[in-house]
Structure 1
Amino acid sequence: MSANQTEREGSVASQPHPEEPPAKKTRVGTEEAGDQKGDLPSEGCDEATHSQPAVVAGAKADCSVLVSVKVPKRKVAVFIAYLGVGYQGMQRSPGVRSIEEELGKAMVKAGGISECNADDFKKVDWARAGRTDKGVSAVGQVVSLKMMIDPPGLVERINSHLPEQIRIMGYVRTTSGFSAYRFCDRRRYEYVLPTFAFDKRIGLPMPYRSDADVLRAAKTSEEEAVKNAPFVFDYAVRSRLNSVLRTYVGTKNHHNFTKRVAANDSSAKRYIISFECSEPFEVDGKQFVRLVVVGQSFMLHQIRKMVGTALGVMRDVAPETVYEHAFSEKHQINVPMAPELGLFLDEAIFHAYNQRFAQTHAMLSCANYQEQIDDFKRKFIYPHIAQTEEAEDTCRNWLRELNVQNYPFKVEPVA
């Protein structure tokens, strides 16, 4: 998959939840007490006995010996944030650098997974809420697995073996049948855009295959042109954009916003709960906005094509009536796809699970780690987007292709 193919955000909706036995309500935090009875070791190697450091009575704190202790595995939901640059995606695959590969190695070193189970995630019932593709980031990713959570300090131990751009925020004990993939019934994504994307004087079309010098000269000319009359992303622009984004809300046929999905395929119908634009904010002196979308599940490229089409409407490349054809099962239309740079998974949501097990289990929510997540965004996600845009003009150069010549929005009947 190429670098600009970035999202495959949980391509199926959640399935019916299996019945679960009642359990004691658990606590939420970066660590949870390991004194509760829970799942016994699953198939794989026997983890009822596991070597753990134990301080010898009367000895100094750094003098320890390994003793054999029983460490049962517990079913948990692990909350993870990562900057995806430099990785081939979330999913572990042979021969490639992935986020899951880093997590697995760190959990083994920290004592959360035994070495004899490290080569096969199925042995620990590993499941991710959604996959992210090459270079894509997340701050609300969730992985469920059976993990040895004793002794205390597991989160800190795992993080000590991870690169700084991958962090475990914490974990929560769950029901024994919980699966982050099956029980995730909503996902929230952010798409971060520089506000100049809404300035029609920026990103003007250029001759085909213009070289770097020509593009730099065009950028300089555009910036000089707007100095005396700076663009303002004001209330009127934001209101119009939110009106356009609300067009996506509801259950609609998104076959034109993905690939390899037929118009009459039931999977083309997707439910969008909300889609709205934030107020502007600054990163490294540049102004950006967040486009925040919540839906049950998303198909390949869906969000990027939704953003691309919305920008086409905002820049008057396409009429707002384009959506009448884009959502039609009878029509086929080529819609623009925004760059992958600004997209990241903000949160995997477990709405039905939280309602069903509210009396017996702790809520699964990023709200428990919001301060850590916000810090991670400010330290890694937003600076990466701003710095990459400044260095590579990712959005600006894409805007040069967003014109009626490349996207005439010609409506054709479905083949």
Structure 2
Amino acid sequence: MALASCGKACAHVLPRQPKLYLGIFRAGGHRLHRRDVRGQEGLIACSSLANSAEAGAAAGPDSARSTRRERSSAPQASRGTVKRKVALHLAYLGTRYRGLQVSAPGPHTTTLTVEDHLLDALGRSGAISASNLEGGPGKVRWSRSSRTDKGVHSLCTVTSFKMELERDDAAQSPGEADPEGLRAAARINAHLPGDIRVLSVQRVTKTWSARPSCTRRRYEYFLPARLLLADAVPGAAAGDLASEAAAVARLRAAMARMEGAHPFHNFTKRRLYRPQATASKRAAADRLRARDARAEDASDLGPSIDEDDEGYGSDAEEEGPRVGADGVPLQCGQSSKGWEFDWLDRVRAADRVGRSHYRNVTRFRAEDPAALVAGGERCVRITIEGDSFMLHQIRHMVGTALAVARGVIRPEVLELALQEPARVTTPRAPPLTLVLTDARFKRFAVKRGGAGQQDAAQGAALLTGERLALRQGGAAAQEAFRDGPLAREINALLADPTWEDWARGLSWHVLPDAEVEELLARAQPWMEERARARGGGGGAEEARAGGGDRR
């Protein structure tokens, strides 16, 4: 180990534990320089603060480079900014973008993601330094509360990261003079397109991360009212309010059956949530964290299947080609491998339904048809709320509920689709009008350490509240975006011809009554045994009535 001496300061090489020694020597008034010496690792305490400039000049070019590094990493009070962990509230229209999450474009990709624009604006506004941008999102501990795919919109996406905040001389803590971060939001918005808006930038605690802190999410889906009647009431004229009301009642009954805790393996890409797939994903995330322990949210930069991924993924990847082997066109959500409609008396280990396929849907409701804007398209506003959702789960739930309302799928088939042994292909609605509208977060963790730790942990909570939520200014900006750009965009999308193309494809889900009765008969022993185990009764007969157990 090399040793260095510089006047009154002791010189030491610090093998390993550099952060510990860095804190010790800075506390003692020494400035530390990091030497990049091949074959040797260590930190050399080479000067006291009083003599650092003189020592740097005597040491030559290497020391000059070290001094420049010092200036870039020193506390930034002199530059008027300081780096702090924040939560950025974002609203956007997803129509023009390739989803939310920044990712490497494909060979023929010309569309950017929402985060491509956001990161560029953060750099241009000075919220993230150029060096941190070059290091990638993990460099600033980037984490997002939810991810959305192409065409999906949001009113409440939250991204946490370390941001350069202005230090207000009149404020005791950065951000105190502007606790909602409205000035910071305005600076960032100046570099963003009009369909992406930062609503607020709030301080959070140092260890707070958006994705694991989000405990509940709410989505809204806007379904064109004209789709309610086609098959349920043959020959019914558009605008038949009585028939429409009956269809809405059937829609609500189907939705009510999907509330509660159920295995939603038939409403997603099932193989992604098999136990071995989950273990593989977690092992990969562990390896990633081991490679870069500094990036606490590194696992959030890659694919995740344990938390909310509604809308996140490629439709094309799941659907396969648009025509099957027989040349017949496939509808949205249909796989070229064919339909599933089966009851497995014996389940293969590779296709077992486990805990990772279960989700708790706390609310799935439909409002009466109404227009979002004056003279606009009438639609049914559907609200879906839960702890988390699987890939495309909400779109499959909406598509299945509508198919039941139109008489395409029998209620008994929906009941079977919510049982572990069933393998049923369910329709998936288009992503055009799916909106993330609310996210709830757990309370901030307050440290119980010394006064300094408590100040750091509690300061953000004092500025933001006991848990992250929009305040008055941010909530007003969110409401303006909802009633303005979002409402106009949704109204235009409700008239898109994609809806009619998709609705025609629902006929692929019509099953002969004989096949349905056969499957119900095969399921009856399992259903009866399950009912006895739970102290209930009814079995398959209860399924035929559209009832069944609610977990």
State TM-score, norm by structure 1.
0.72
Answering whether residue 363 of structure 2 is matched by residue 301 of structure 1, we say no
1:234 shift after superposition:
6.5
Match of 1:177 in 2: 207
Q: Is the 8 A contact 1:334 1:407 kept in 2?
A: no
CA distance in 2: counterparts of 1:122 and 1:47, whole angstroms: 21
1:177 shift after superposition:
0.8
Identify unmatched segments of 5+ residues in structure 1. Answer: 1-42, 51-67, 205-221
Match of 1:76 in 2: 86
Match of 2:469 in 1: 365
Answering whether residue 167 of structure 2 is matched by residue 140 of structure 1, we say no
- How many residue pairs match? The answer is 332
Q: Which has the higher contact order (CA 8 A, sep 6+)?
A: 1
Report the residue type matching 2:141 in the other structure.
Answer: D
Identity across the alignment (%): 35
1:232 shift after superposition:
5.6
- Please show how residues 132-211 of structure 1 align to structure 2 within 5 Å: 132-150=148-166, 153-200=183-230
CA distance in 2: counterparts of 1:232 and 1:367, whole angstroms: 42
CA distance in 1: counterparts of 2:131 and 2:398, whole angstroms: 45
Post-superposition CA distance 1:365-412 (Å, at most 9, x none) = 24643332232123222322322332x322222111112x44428677
Answering whether residue 458 of structure 2 is matched by residue 353 of structure 1, we say no
Higher strand share: 1
Match of 1:389 in 2: 494
**What secondary structure sits across from 1:294 in the alignment?**
strand
Post-superposition CA distance 1:298-357 (Å, at most 9, x none) = 11110000001100111111121223211111110111111111112112221x326988
Picking from 76, 79, 85, the partner of 1:49 is 76
**What secondary structure sits across from 1:176 in the alignment?**
coil
Higher helix share: 2
Which segment drifts farther, 366-375 or 354-363?
354-363
Match of 2:381 in 1: 290
**What secondary structure sits across from 1:226 in the alignment?**
coil
Q: Is the 8 A contact 2:99 2:149 kept in 1?
A: yes
Identify unmatched segments of 5+ residues in structure 2. Answer: 1-69, 106-110, 168-177, 275-351, 447-457, 524-551
Report the residue type matching 2:76 in the other structure.
Answer: T
Match of 1:40 in 2: none
Answering whether residue 503 of structure 2 is matched by residue 399 of structure 1, we say yes
CA distance in 2: counterparts of 1:47 and 1:94, whole angstroms: 33
Post-superposition CA distance 1:189-247 (Å, at most 9, x none) = 1111111121226998xxxxxxxxxxxxxxxxx9xx736x6446866554443332121
Match of 1:105 in 2: 120
CA distance in 2: counterparts of 1:190 and 1:367, whole angstroms: 22
CA distance in 2: counterparts of 1:377 and 1:143, whole angstroms: 19
Match of 1:278 in 2: 367
Post-superposition CA distance 1:143-171 (Å, at most 9, x none) = 01111221662111100000000000002
**What secondary structure sits across from 2:475 in the alignment?**
helix
Post-superposition CA distance 1:266-321 (Å, at most 9, x none) = 21001111111123331342211211111111111100000011001111111212
Answering whether residue 237 of structure 2 is matched by residue 226 of structure 1, we say yes
Which segment drifts farther, 312-321 or 353-362?
353-362
Q: Is the 8 A contact 1:107 1:158 kept in 2?
A: yes
**What secondary structure sits across from 2:165 in the alignment?**
coil
Judged with a 3 Å threshold, the aligned counterparts in structure 2 of structure 1 residues 197 and 45 are, in CA distance, closer, same or farther, namely farther
CA distance in 2: counterparts of 1:248 and 1:122, whole angstroms: 37
Answering whether residue 247 of structure 2 is matched by residue 254 of structure 1, we say no
Report the residue type matching 1:291 in the other structure.
Answer: I
Q: Is the 8 A contact 2:99 2:114 kept in 1?
A: yes
Report the residue type matching 1:106 in the other structure.
Answer: A
Picking from 111, 117, 121, the partner of 2:132 is 117
CA distance in 1: counterparts of 2:74 and 2:241, whole angstroms: 62
Q: Is the 8 A contact 1:141 1:345 kept in 2?
A: yes
CA distance in 1: counterparts of 2:212 and 2:204, whole angstroms: 14
Match of 1:312 in 2: 403
**What secondary structure sits across from 1:154 in the alignment?**
helix
Post-superposition CA distance 1:88-132 (Å, at most 9, x none) = 111111336111111111111111111110121111111000111
Match of 2:353 in 1: 264
CA distance in 1: counterparts of 2:436 and 2:200, whole angstroms: 17
**What secondary structure sits across from 2:194 in the alignment?**
coil
**What secondary structure sits across from 1:149 in the alignment?**
strand
Judged with a 3 Å threshold, the aligned counterparts in structure 2 of structure 1 residues 196 and 160 are, in CA distance, closer, same or farther, namely same
Judged with a 3 Å threshold, the aligned counterparts in structure 2 of structure 1 residues 128 and 305 are, in CA distance, closer, same or farther, namely same
Report the residue type matching 2:443 in the other structure.
Answer: Y
Q: Is the 8 A contact 1:196 1:231 kept in 2?
A: no
Report the residue type matching 1:255 in the other structure.
Answer: H
**What secondary structure sits across from 1:175 in the alignment?**
coil
Judged with a 3 Å threshold, the aligned counterparts in structure 2 of structure 1 residues 235 and 107 are, in CA distance, closer, same or farther, namely same
Q: Is the 8 A contact 1:44 1:116 kept in 2?
A: no
Report the residue type matching 1:266 in the other structure.
Answer: R
Judged with a 3 Å threshold, the aligned counterparts in structure 2 of structure 1 residues 384 and 334 are, in CA distance, closer, same or farther, namely same
Judged with a 3 Å threshold, the aligned counterparts in structure 2 of structure 1 residues 195 and 232 are, in CA distance, closer, same or farther, namely farther
CA distance in 2: counterparts of 1:359 and 1:124, whole angstroms: 20
CA distance in 2: counterparts of 1:331 and 1:253, whole angstroms: 10
Q: Is the 8 A contact 2:232 2:247 kept in 1?
A: no
Judged with a 3 Å threshold, the aligned counterparts in structure 2 of structure 1 residues 342 and 102 are, in CA distance, closer, same or farther, namely same
Answering whether residue 183 of structure 2 is matched by residue 93 of structure 1, we say no
1:188 shift after superposition:
0.6
Q: Is the 8 A contact 2:229 2:244 kept in 1?
A: no
Judged with a 3 Å threshold, the aligned counterparts in structure 2 of structure 1 residues 178 and 44 are, in CA distance, closer, same or farther, namely farther
Q: Supply the RMSD in Å over aligned alpha carbons.
A: 3.1
Structure of higher CA gyration radius: 2
CA distance in 2: counterparts of 1:388 and 1:376, whole angstroms: 17
Q: Is the 8 A contact 1:335 1:407 kept in 2?
A: no
Report the residue type matching 2:219 in the other structure.
Answer: Y
